[in-house]
Amino acid sequence: MSTRLATGGRLLNKDKAVRFTFNGQQMRGFEGDTLASALLANDQMLVGRSFKYHRPRGIVAAGPEEPNALVNLGVEGKFEPNQRATTTELFEGLLATSQNHWPSLEFDVGAINAKLSRFMPAGFYYKMFIHPRPLWKHVYEPFIRQAAGLGQAPKGRDQDTYEHFHAFCDVLVVGGGIAGLIAARSAAKTGARVLLIEQTAHWGGRAPVDGGDVDGKPVDNVVDELVSELEAMPNVTMRTRLMGAGVYDHGYVLGYERLNDHAPETDGPRHRLWRIRAGHVVTATGAIERPLSFAGNDIPGVMLASAVRDYVVNYGVSSGDRTVIVTNNDDAYRTASALKFAGLDVPAILDARVLPVDSPLIAEAKAAGIRVLMGHGVSKVLGGKRVTGVAVCSQAGEGAVLEEIACDAVAMSGGWSPVVHLWSHCGGKLLWDNDFAMFRPDVDKAPTGAEGSAFVSPVGSANGHFGLAELVGDAHAMGHAAARATGHKPGKVSAPDASSVEEAAMAPVWLMPQGAGAALRGKAWLDYQNDVKVSDVQLAAQEGFESVEHAKRYTTLGMATDQGKLSNINGLAILSDALNQPIPQTGTTTFRPPYTPISMGAIAGEARGTVFQPIRRTPMHEWHDKNGADWEPVGHWRRPYAYVRNGETVHDAVMRETRNVRENLGLLDASTLGKLVVKGPDAGKFLDMLYTNMMSTLKPGKCRYGLMCGENGFLIDDGVVARIDDDTFLCHTTTGGAERIHGHMEEWLQTEWWDMQVYVANVTEQYAQVAVVGPNARKALEALGGMDVSAEALGFMEWADGTLGGFDVRAYRISFSGELSYEIAVHASKGQAFWDALMAVGADLGVMPYGTEALHILRAEKGFIMIGDETDGTVIPQDLGLHWALSKKKEDYLGKRAQERPHMIDPERWKLVGLETLDGSDLPDGAYAVAEGTNDNGQRNMQGRVTSSYHSPNLNKGIAMGLVLHGPDRMGEVIDFPGTDGTTYRARIVSPVFYDPDGEKQNV
Amino acid sequence: MLILTCPNCGQTGEETEFHAGGEAHLKRFGPGSSDGDFEEYLFMRENPKGVHFERWRHVYGCGKWFHAARCTTTLEVFGTYSAQVTEPPKEICDKISKKRPDWSWRAFS
Amino acid sequence: MSNAVSALNGVTWAQGIATVTEVPLQGMITLRGQLTDAKVKKAAMSATSLEMPGHGQANCVDDRGICWMSPDELLVLCPYDAVSTNLKQMQGVLGDVHSLCVNVSDARAVFDLSGDNAREVLAKLVPVDLAPDQFTVGMFRRTRMAQVPAAFWLHDNDSFRIICFRSQAQYVFDLLTVASQRGSAVDVF
């Protein structure tokens, strides 16, 4: 039985009871409990089922290393699976359910897997589900999917909010235990800006539980004093519930702050991701105790010795009335003392070591009347869903049972491993320490930063210093060193004084007993969460998975949500033993961030809902929205695809708008087109290099359509260039192309032709631009009144400044539809007013706004190309029959040399043509035309593809453009386009200009 | 995530303020150049393990391009300098030589 | 004609830990030219009656100001209605000097972010050290704000002026209000 003790519990507020529910059962804990301590207090030993064999599992640890106690928390929009009970602070009304069982935790059908475990060794899934192949899709995969995963995926939308915070400091100290506190103080006293973060809600770490004196005072008092001292320093920021999740290049550290997981009704974000940039990082991340590998070490009630101690001291919870301790080191004796002090029984300490003399801790245990069996270990643990006893054996033997000791908990300790995760994330190297059988940071091989110098220092037990005296001295010195690394000078401050209890050397014990036979090894668990046993790792080695990374993936050791915090070293040792090589030669697997799982919400931060992405709006956005706009994303811009009226489908609206432009008058919001002012004595020369056309010969007042290619020859943009005066041009780019083309111009100006006198400014958003298009376009502008827009005053491809309806405007007489067309630019702040004025005067002229799809149809009817439809980054102007836009007079322009490469002048390149189906139906966009024969992969040969396809309401048939092999030479030929629907579309190759080929409509 | 100092505006910012622009000090070959020279210019790039020279743009900041000398293995930044030069300045090369005596990159060392 | 409206028509939001207000119709002129050139400096100073700011600085008083954008670019702030007059005047001062002067008043939106928590609200969104001793009055910073470009300076000790593109005004406003949500004080500055 685990239960709440009448005394103890330094972290509890026993005046405040907290009610919570586990698997539907009402339970009670206290403020200050974790869910794990509260469950133990309610004798809830069994908390989950293991992943593969569905074995009953209980709480093992008291911190973030917990592999078993993973629960579903909350409901609906607050639901979250796989939450560690040991790091979940209890709050009123907490709802938790256990995972990975059916129908119930107590009776789980899946537990049959445990009976079959002999037949499901490492690699079982790989071996079993590969043959016969056809079974994979409909039998194996659905079965495995059903079995996969521990918790349930949330179904509801997350109700909580999250955010980021950018923090800067000289010295970041990760970990608020005694080492972190002392290092932070040493660094802070130099005047350095210090940020100290601690993952739990409490300062001090293990020190108050483990005890000892610093400067002659009990360590828990010292912790309180240090906290007060640091809090009073203006250059120190201290945060609890903030975990150092990952260390990255150049001192970048991610911190994961859990703001109201413990108080879900509070206002504000649930988690905050700290994006910290530190001059130097001190990792005071402590150490984690290792389990021992003996048969039945996963039965609920078998726990880490330090955890048993934590639960007694911190939470006043006993894991059992009678606890057998099994260890290979002195530290576990502290658990015996703590249990005795709490009035609990320790029937025996099984110590695998054989020591010549008793160390002080052993002597103390013996003096307290505890039976200490040196050279002994656990043959196997007795019990099913909870521990009922242990069978004792000699560590040296094969597990012959010497006696059985009844108990209800087992506290095990296999030694300690420094938490080297954060040290290792960014390249810190490790050393194997033979004395403590552990990897610790190799401080001479630290991660290096922007300056090439070390930027991480490990301190305290994270640096392999376990005695209080060594730990305190190390922390003090490293705090100074960290400050010095950021340019701060430590004064002469001496380290705090502490003494360590002398401890006997630990003895590495990787298997208990050392000669355990197959039956015992098959029940000795390494990785609790992923159900990996000693025998699995041995099998992996035997089957040739000798690299630690291969063995890890084959067995899944260390691949669960705890990432092997308890299992890695033990697994490594077993693997090394199987390979008959020393542990350092086997090496470790890679430590990757985050240290423990962090929420996806924290990573996304504010970027959800309305601010998921930066939607760009034109000045007329709201009007469009109110007038039926069906939105189309174009880059981050939103443009109306069509304005849908009541009773219309989107297609109906597109057809109506397209017809109306040709028959009456259409308005298009063209504000999104990029507008770049290019000015300077060399502007003409510069644009001649950027465009394939000649721009320097353009006369002020005139416009010219231009093509832009990259240096690799491929088309990147197009648009109309207007010459404003001798020195100044205004270049239009495609929607969404403004920033890219602006950058392209700046790149060439700054990095290649820096002697050219040219300035570029992006004025895209200074203007709202409206295309006024259709036979009535001129009438509409004349109705507004102001400037002369007659054919004589403002000819095709000319521009002029003036006023219209009282607005200052710049009018461009350009057409992307083949109709009489003007594009009118006004200042953005007057865009809506101008649009309103146009709608008003257009009322009698059949005005309708039209969207991007009508725009596309209109341009396709005229055979105008669209960047992104006819081009895809592999198309050159020559492919599109745009030779007329390639200046022959210019020696050079970007892309010219590339367009001379053999592949570019290959006559086999597909070329632009028009396509129309024989029956007038619409060709599927993107369809490929097939040719005779097959390629080397047995697929039909291709001879072309559709680049744009629309239904033209003006021509009353489907029209399309495409790139076709020898296309322009094959006019009239019919080619086949198999559709994805099984039918084949037959289309005739025609001219891409379907409508008004002589351009009579735009030149009026 | 790197931190870089823009030599144009003097701001030190994190990598997200910048845009990487590939290898530095390319010599442009245009019309009239041989296939070999043009291929070299358009396609062939250094891929060193160690000292490298790159182009960067302070795209969210002052908008200016600059050069950076950087180690591709340790990510140490030896220095940043003007985009308007055709080869690394001497002080940058000297700084690299101090830390990586055996370095070489293209014709430079 | 006085039918000009700013991107968000001067909206204000004050339901969280900071106050967010759009500053409507701020006159803005981009001036490109070598800032070492006396005429370029004079053009900016004459339009604003203010001194030239240093590298990475802004010198702003009320609705006038000069902001250092890059070694060859300034952003000149002036009353919205004075832009065309100032443009002409600046072009007059510049004369033949190679330069570019252009009205960008309508291309941008300006926000005021104020209150005791203004610094930390902004620090949630920009990768910049905004500690009171690190970011001080007079500094001008162009950077990334969540997913868009932005520039800001301290208008006074607890109020920032933030400039972004007009098309992204709604996004930036939403960002600032989300970052100012009730209960989200970081309490570090």
> For the segment A209-254, what is each residue's pLDDT rounded down to a tens digit?
999 999 999 999 999 999 999 999 999 999 999 999 999 999 999 9
Lowest mean per-residue pLDDT among A45-54, A109-118, C165-174: A109-118
Topology at the third CATH level for domain A907-990: Elongation Factor Tu (Ef-tu); domain 3 (2.40.30)
Q: Where are the domains of chain B?
A: 3-99
Lowest mean per-residue pLDDT among A139-153, A576-590, C65-79, C132-146: A139-153
CATH placement of domain C16-179: 3.30.1360.120
**DSSP 3-state of A277:** strand
Interface contact A249, partner B, CB < 8 A:
yes
Q: How is chain A split among helix, strand and coil, in percent rounded to 5? A: 25, 30, 45
By Cβ distance, the residue of A277, A760, A830 closest to C3 is: A830
- Indicate whether C79 pLDDT > 80: yes
- Indicate whether A733 pLDDT > 60: yes
What is the rounded average pLDDT for all residues in chain A? 95
Per-residue DSSP letter, A359: -
- Indicate whether A695 pLDDT > 80: yes
Q: Band the pLDDT of A119: cuts 50, 70, 90.
A: confident
Q: Dihedral of CA A209/A215/A221/A225: which sign?
A: negative
The token pair at A129 is 């589900």
pLDDT at C2: 55
By Cβ distance, the residue of C69, C127, C144 closest to B62 is: C69
Q: Where are the domains of chain C?
A: 16-179
Lowest mean per-residue pLDDT among A398-402, A719-723, A1000-1004: A1000-1004
**CATH architecture of residue range(s) A3-114:** Roll (3.10)
Interface contact C142, partner B, CB < 8 A:
yes
pLDDT at A104: 82
Best CA proximity match to A506, nearest among A572, A376, A415, A396:
A415
Nearest CA to CA, how far is B69 from chain C (Å)?
22
In which residue are the tokens 């050393």 written? A431
State the average pLDDT over residues A600-623: 97
CATH placement of domain B3-99: 3.30.2270.10
The reply to whether residue B2 touches residue A752, judged by beta carbons under 8 angstroms, is no
Phi and psi for A208 in degrees, rounded to 5?
Answer: -65, -25
The token pair at A605 is 């931060």
The token pair at A318 is 């006993």
Interface contact B50, partner C, CB < 8 A:
no
Percent of chain B with pLDDT over 90: 98
Topology at the third CATH level for domain A616-869: Gyrase A; domain 2 (3.30.1360)
Instruction: Give the bridge partners for A345, in sequence order.
Output: A322
> Which residues in A lie closer than 8 A to residue B72 (C-beta atoms)?
none
The reply to whether residue C73 touches residue B11, judged by beta carbons under 8 angstroms, is no
State the average pLDDT over residues C76-87: 97
> Which residues in C lie closer than 8 A to residue B63 (C-beta atoms)?
69-70, 73
> Which residues in C lie closer than 8 A to residue B15 (C-beta atoms)?
none
Q: Side chain identity at A139, as an amino acid letter?
A: V
Nearest CA to CA, how far is A942 from chain B (Å)?
28
**CATH architecture of residue range(s) A291-414:** 3-Layer(bba) Sandwich (3.50)
Beta strands in A813-954 (DSSP E): 821-827, 847-849, 910-917, 928-934, 940-952
Question: Which among B6, B9, B41, B42 is the top mutation candidate for probing chain A, defined by the most A β-carbons within 10 Å of its own β-carbon?
Answer: B42
CATH of A518-581, one of 3.40.640.10, 3.40.1190.20, 1.10.4160.10, 1.10.10.1100: 1.10.10.1100
Percent of chain A with pLDDT over 90: 90
CA trace torsion A905, A908, A910, A912 (10° rounding): 70
**CATH architecture of residue range(s) A162-287+418-485:** 3-Layer(bba) Sandwich (3.50)
Interface contact B82, partner C, CB < 8 A:
no
Strands A807-812 and A821-827: antiparallel
Residues ≥6 apart with Cβ < 8 Å to A16 = A30, A31
Helices (H), A426-517: 468-485
**Is this complex scored with an ipTM above 0.95?**
yes
Give the whole-angstrom CA distance, residue A794 versus residue A787: 10
Interface contact B20, partner A, CB < 8 A:
no
Q: Where are the domains of chain A?
A: 3-114, 162-287+418-485, 291-414, 518-581, 616-869, 907-990
Nearest CA to CA, how far is B25 from chain C (Å)?
22
pLDDT at C1: 46
Percent of chain A with pLDDT over 70: 100
Give the whole-angstrom CA distance, residue A323 versus residue A304: 12
State the average pLDDT over residues A836-844: 98
**CB of A219 closer than 8 Å to CB of A209:** no
Burial profile A394-407: b = 16 or more Cβ within 10 angstroms, e = fewer: bbebebeeeeebeb
The reply to whether residue A250 touches residue B33, judged by beta carbons under 8 angstroms, is no
pLDDT single digits (tens) A378-401: 999 999 999 999 999 999 999 999
State the average pLDDT over residues C45-56: 96
The burial of C92, by beta-carbon neighbours within 10 Å (0-12 exposed, 13-18 middle, 19 or more buried), is given as exposed
* Residue A728 CB neighbours (<10 A): 17
pLDDT single digits (tens) A159-175: 999 999 999 999 999 99
- Indicate whether A837 pLDDT > 60: yes
pTM above 0.80, yes or no: yes
Give the whole-angstrom CA distance, residue A127 versus residue A545: 14
Interface contact A168, partner C, CB < 8 A:
yes
**DSSP 3-state of A477:** helix
* Minimum CA–CA partner of B1 in chain C: C127
pLDDT at A440: 96
Under 8 Å CB pairs connecting chains B and C tally to 38
In which residue are the tokens 């008092």 written? A221
pLDDT single digits (tens) B51-90: 999 999 999 999 999 999 999 999 999 999 999 999 999 9
